[in-house]
Amino acid sequence: MINELIIPKPDDMHLHLREGGMLKIVSQHSASQFGRAIIMPNLKKPITNTSLAHSYYDEIKKHTKSYQFKPLMTIYFNEGLALEELKKIEASSKIIGIKLYPKGVTTNSNKGLDSLQSGYNIFEMMEELDIPLLIHGEVNDTNVDIFDREKIFIEKHLIRAHKEFPKLRIVLEHISTKDATEFVKESSNKIAATITPQHLLYNRNELFLGGLRPHAFCLPVLKREEHRLAVLDAAISGNPKFFLGTDSAPHKRSEKESSCGCAGIYSALNAMEIYAEIFDRNNAIEKLENFCSKFGADFYKLNQSKEKLKLTRSKNKVPTVIKIDNGDVVPLMAGQDISWNCSNI
Ligand code: NCD
Ligand code: ZN
């Protein structure tokens, strides 16, 4: 039995750090476990250009001074991205890619795109400049059943975009279906996907376990068991196209426990312990290192970290709530026992 792992400091390839008082606390949670993280641009005022990304970078660095933590910034895909701006993005060592939200699909996405095709002229320039495109892969048509929105997005939009721009690196974010795992596996090595802990842990029953569970609500929404099993299988398969992205997305408890609760699950404080727990429960702990410290870095053409993180098998408990700013956040697996602890060495 493996009781200790020492791995290169992992990368969180999909993270929401928010702003203000929330940013100050949650950025430190991430920095204590991860060496780098790809920072999502969906702030209330989205990060739509290089200059906003650089200021946000400085703010994150200010709050994480006592850690070796490198935020990898993203730009919110918008129709104003002209060649000159794309060249600046490509040249910036602080910016890693461009994140595309179909309009209205999730938190702060109302400035997103209505049709993927309207972004094709920008995809063409991104392909040329080799700037990765990160996609929230769900259709925004509210007539489509919410459990089918990822599958339909792949069928209607993603397959076509990948054909039109075969050299464009695309990351399908937070995959939640068997269909997504199949698409990624069958496509060229320009296509990869991030996987969250919640999509590995739960199927959609979790949303209604003894009552309505707002803290299990995220987008893409949890799916049937067959989909969870396919995503789990992809994560522990050792296939380099699948790598860690927590999608840790804090919302205050009052905004989740509401008549119209926000989508997003907070996991940053114990993310690595939770992934270790999941891989271990599925007899795949030896597959964790590449999933969290190598495959993502390789896809984004980054060197692996020289810093180390130690994971030890020992009793641990996820807190029931975390005090953040002037409110509480209820984390993933709140109050539950886990068997792994992290420390920096
Ligand atoms: C995220 C958020 O709250 O910013 N929410 C979520 O449910 N995952 C946005 C996102 O990644 O969809
Ligand atoms: Zn996200």
Query: CA-to-CA distance for 159 and 115, rounded, in angstroms?
Result: 14
Query: CA-to-CA distance for 166 and 131, rounded, in angstroms?
Result: 13
Domain residue ranges of the chain, discontinuous segments joined by + = 10-307
In this structure, whether the domain defined by 10-307 belongs to CATH 2.70.98.10 is answered with no
The encoded tokens of residue 168 equal 């464009």
Cβ atoms of residues 195 and 245 within 8 Å:
yes
Pocket test for ligand 1, best of 18, 38, 42 (most atoms within 8 A of CB): 42
CA-closest candidate to residue 250, choices 90, 74, 19, 64:
19
Q: What is the model's pTM?
A: 0.98
Cα 263 to averaged position of ligand 1 atoms, centre (Å): 6
Ligand 1, atom 4, residue with closest C-alpha:
107
Q: How confident is the prediction along the chain (345 residues), in pLDDT tens digits per residue?
A: 999 999 999 999 999 999 999 999 999 999 999 999 999 999 999 999 999 999 999 999 999 999 999 999 999 999 999 999 999 999 999 999 999 999 999 999 999 998 899 999 999 999 999 999 999 999 999 999 999 999 999 999 999 999 999 999 999 999 999 999 999 999 999 999 999 999 999 999 999 999 999 999 999 999 999 999 999 999 999 999 999 999 999 999 999 999 999 999 999 999 999 999 999 999 999 999 999 999 999 999 999 999 999 999 999 999 999 998 789 999 999 999 999 999 988
Whether the CA torsion 53, 54, 55, 61 is positive or negative: it is positive
C-alpha distance from residue 111 to each of 48, 99, 102, 107 (Å):
10, 12, 9, 11
List, in order, residues 6 or more apart from 208 with CB less than 8 Å away. none
Ligand 1, atom 1, residue with closest C-alpha:
264
* 247 in catalytic set: yes
Cα 248 to averaged position of ligand 1 atoms, centre (Å): 8
